[in-house]
């Protein structure tokens, strides 16, 4: 077994961050926590510092940093406290770090995740938005800096487990016909379409199979999550959008499949618990206990599949269009979605207005080829402006 690995957890107080720490705590002989970051919930971060004694904690603002530092000092915890984007970048790329769990939600995770990639770290990618926004630049940086990119998204982790070595050269070259990306269909899979205009944030966040942060929960309810995952899969596995088919599988037991030209279809199964992909990626290429209970097929009893309905889920269609358009389209899609989801959660937009806002932004803004990160950030900014203008005009 390898020596003790020093881990930075970006987004430590979130759903993925806490699951990561749960797995890490089961293996003190393999992992030690180097840094923890959080944007809010300082009391929770303080408790995590107490428990894991990281070298660094990173918070949003200087005032938060002072506040947390005083608290930790009073408890004789020697954690140094940094703040802001520069603090995140420092702990993501620090020489003493072996692996970085990228589990900040949304575009805010891009710069620290890229910093980890550029420092050649083992990067465990949960923050799909970072890859969606900057796909070609991100993957180029992985190759240039020799980073090891391991997918945490359960579907992508499943696909990674089912693919043969050498897939990066192209799926056809390794006998793969297509990737089958599974989706639960979220809480509104069977809700009458006419009722989708009046669903509440609480209903949207009540996912039938997974317990997750609020943003990804809403993305799952609109199926934008699957749209972002389609784009994510194209980048991670060197696939074209037409090589990735979305399959609704309400039980969330099969986490995705790979279809080979000889008719073989390989799937990865397990209970819906993110500690499985987290433990897989942390230990890869070894295997270790994650705390997840064994899959009981007799309890599962049946596995169902359905084709997705793009009338019910227009976000899936918009994401596929953005994947096919390439260039800045995924960055525009992602940023408009972030603004729209926040507005929905804040009561300023209806659920069915989320795709309307994204569609409006994509119709307004021309897509250009991405040559550098500035162009990605400009697309992100412009998209947010357009989405906010829509909200000022039509929102509540
Ligand atoms: P979450 O909302 O539970 O946690 C987000 C974390 O990011 C928190 O620690 C928060 O403090 C931090 N954060 C939020 N805004 C920030 C900002 N502006 N700057 C710095 N830090 C910030 O989210 P989550 O469900 O854990 O998801 C995290 C990421 O993992 C997302 O990209 C999501 O799509 C992806 N993901 C999550 C799951 C899941 O089961 N939760 C599954 C697959 C992928
Ligand atoms: Mg997923």
pLDDT digits (tens, 9 = 90+) for 369-379: 999 999 999 99
Q: Any binding-site annotation on 76?
A: no
* 42 and 183 together in one domain: no
Q: What is the pLDDT of residue 303?
A: 98
* 162 and 247 together in one domain: yes
Best mutation site among 16, 44, 150, 208 for ligand 1, i.e. most ligand atoms within 8 A of its Cβ? 16
Could you tell me the CATH number of the domain that includes residue 98?
A: 3.40.50.720
Going by pLDDT thresholds of 50, 70 and 90, the confidence category of residue 208 is confident
Query: Is 169 in contact with 298 (CB distance < 8 Å)?
Result: no
What does the block give as tokens for 3?
A: 């020596």
Q: Which of 1-15, 53-67, 300-314, 332-346 has the lowest mean pLDDT?
A: 1-15
* 242 and 306 together in one domain: yes
Name the domain count of the chain: 3
Quote the ligand 2 centre to 318 CA distance (angstroms): 18
Q: What is the mean pLDDT of residues 389-393?
A: 98
Q: Is the pTM of this model over 0.85?
A: yes
* 312 and 171 together in one domain: yes
Q: What is the mean pLDDT of residues 206-223?
A: 94
Of all protein residues, whose CA lies closest to atom 25 belonging to ligand 1? 213
CA proximity to 10, closest of 94, 119, 95, 126: 126
Average pLDDT, the chain: 97
pLDDT tens-digit profile of 241-275? Answer: 999 999 999 999 999 999 999 999 999 999 999 99
Q: What is the pLDDT of residue 2?
A: 60
**1, pLDDT greater than 70:** no
Quote the ligand 1 centre to 15 CA distance (angstroms): 7
Percent of the chain scoring above 70 in pLDDT = 99
Pairwise CA distance, residues 82 & 101, whole Å: 18
Could you tell me the CATH number of the domain that includes residue 372?
A: 1.10.1740.10
3-class secondary structure, 368 = coil
Q: What does DSSP assign to residue 189?
A: S
Q: Any binding-site annotation on 6?
A: no
Cβ neighbours for 22, distance < 8 A, ≥ 6 positions apart: 275, 291
The residue segments making up the domain with residue 17 are 5-152
- Cis (ω within 30 of 0) for the bond into 285? yes
Q: What is the pLDDT of residue 211?
A: 87
Of all protein residues, whose CA lies closest to atom 9 belonging to ligand 1? 11
Q: Any binding-site annotation on 111?
A: no
Instruction: Output phi, psi for 257, to 5 deg.
Output: -140, 160
């Amino acid at each position: 077994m390898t020596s003790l690995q020093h881990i930075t957890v970006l987004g430590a107080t979130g759903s993925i961050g806490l699951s990561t720490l749960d797995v890490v705590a089961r293996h003190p002989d393999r992992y030690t926590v180097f840094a923890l970051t959080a944007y809010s919930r300082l009391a929770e971060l303080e408790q995590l510092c107490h428990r894991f004694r990281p070298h660094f904690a990173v918070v949003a603002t200087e005032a938060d940093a002072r506040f947390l530092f005083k608290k930790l000092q009073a408890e004789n915890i020697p954690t140094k406290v940094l703040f802001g984007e520069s603090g995140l970048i420092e702990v993501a790329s620090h020489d003493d770090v072996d692996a970085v769990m990228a589990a900040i939600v949304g575009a805010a995770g891009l710069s620290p995740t890229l910093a980890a990639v550029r420092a050649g770290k083992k990067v465990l990618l949960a923050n799909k938005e970072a890859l969606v926004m900057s796909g070609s630049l991100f993957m180029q940086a992985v190759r240039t800096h020799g980073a090891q990119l391991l997918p945490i998204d359960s579907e992508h982790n499943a696909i990674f487990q089912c693919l043969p070595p050498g897939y990066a050269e192209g799926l056809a070259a390794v006998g793969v016909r297509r990737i089958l990306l599974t989706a639960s269909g979220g809480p509104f899979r069977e809700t009458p379409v006419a009722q989708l205009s009046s669903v509440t944030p609480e209903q949207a966040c009540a996912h039938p199979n997974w317990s997750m942060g609020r943003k990804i929960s809403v993305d799952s309810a609109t199926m934008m999550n699957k749209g972002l995952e389609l784009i994510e899969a194209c980048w991670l596995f060197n696939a074209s959008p037409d090589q990735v088919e979305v399959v609704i599988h309400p039980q969330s037991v099969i986490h995705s499949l790979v279809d080979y030209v000889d008719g073989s279809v390989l799937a990865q199964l397990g209970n819906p618990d993110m500690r499985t992909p987290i433990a897989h990626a942390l230990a890869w290429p070894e295997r270790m206990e994650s705390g997840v209970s064994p899959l009981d097929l007799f309890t599962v009893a049946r596995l169902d599949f359905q084709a997705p309905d793009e009338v019910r889920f227009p976000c899936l269609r918009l994401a596929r269009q953005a994947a096919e358009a390439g260039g800045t389209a995924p960055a525009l899609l992602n940023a408009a979605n972030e603004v729209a989801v926040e507005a929905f959660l804040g009561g300023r937009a209806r659920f069915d207005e989320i795709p309307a806002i994204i569609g409006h932004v994509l119709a307004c803004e021309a897509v250009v080829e991405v040559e550098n990160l500035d162009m990605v950030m400009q697309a992100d900014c412009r998209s947010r402006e357009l989405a906010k203008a829509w909200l000022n005009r039509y929102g509540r």
